[in-house]
Structure 1
């Protein structure tokens, strides 16, 4: 049996690779579990470089998962957003956001082919060599180099403008929250970029906008409508880290709804809001534990 300690040392990195390739918490968890099972069956000493071996195994698993998921996602009702990763609010000493796991980037990666996405994530985020990636996606190293270059150009062209300054991002989210919950339309318009985009992922399971809402006035009206369902004393809202940046988690256990909101901020204003509302994509979250104490 292979050294189990070596696997545990790589577990966090493996999950990070899996989530960025698939955009799914559930698929990432499954991929890590499958990699673990394969590692257990491996004779001791067969993998000279556990880090490289395990990275290759999980990348192949996730590449296959992503390829098989394409048809399902193409028929998905409304915008498809990655399953959100929610953690406690980040420490103030962390000055920069984690751009590689942002909802904005993962949404752009969703538009790439599986091979382009794998090449970009593995090379640009995890510094895997082109020959190693070539074995995973069954291409030549030169072809993989072209895949990564093509993906990089598309990411640069399509990813929204975004600050990497955590303090600037948090100020914008706080201003948004205060304006939205306080019913201050003028303040809300001030914090929203003129071309702000609101995307809602309900997956046909809950009421959500089937197409993106675009423009400051339109998004402000949409938010004003949504806040009417918030019942003080019963509904709750709190700031958490959502995919590496300050975002919002809301819930109402009595009404049976919940949502996770990721924000993209540029020059002090919100340029995109991604609302994850599909219950299937929130099942991995313990909403009761996330609910703030009275």
Structure 2
């Protein structure tokens, strides 16, 4: 067994700065008031695809009906008998009088619109991998003295959110400009504990490679994080996909290096998440 790295998560004490690994994966910070406290939030998983638009569906082709001769016009009915009164006013027979319906609505009172049926509830799909990540991250937050809760978006995605805390302000200031734009203010020292939180939030096996998910809403952080991974000896490459950008690590030696840095496996582990 090789010697444990000095930068491994198992060799370093836990610290609030480890939560920078969550910010690598897509976490965001928000300030409270005038910046006296800050909160860390991570939405797990990409948004679901929009449902298909019914208007975009092609209309069915009209059925082909063979030509038929037009129907013969009906013969007009014989004129109704009329009786002439002495003053010259015609009297209509009883059959031509309109029927009276006491329950029919009056012309000056519009009929109530038909009731629309309630829309069917949206089906929420729960991803077990995301549920595992949410619980593992909550444990990692609590292990660093930062309580966190798991909430849920209407589409079913879990959200890990801490409380507003004064000790999270330096973390927010290191990852956000005064205007609120997310970026790395200073170069990141990517050690084992930070990588461990990054793996918990967005790491997975992808074929022969291992990938670390990035924040698609903060493209300015991608190149600095790639540089940090390369300085950590991971020999990574950047796949800058607009929807799912990732840091890609290929090769057994580099993946063993990552597994050494992130430390021992959690007791409960979801398949395809942990490196090595």
Fold match (TM-score > 0.5): no
| TM-score scaled by length of structure 2 | 0.24
Choose between structure 1 and 2 for higher RCO, CA contacts under 8 A separated by at least 6 residues: 2
Please tell me whether Structure 1 or Structure 2 has the larger radius of gyration of its CA atoms.
2
The structure with more helix, counted as a fraction of residues: 1
| TM-score scaled by length of structure 1 | 0.23
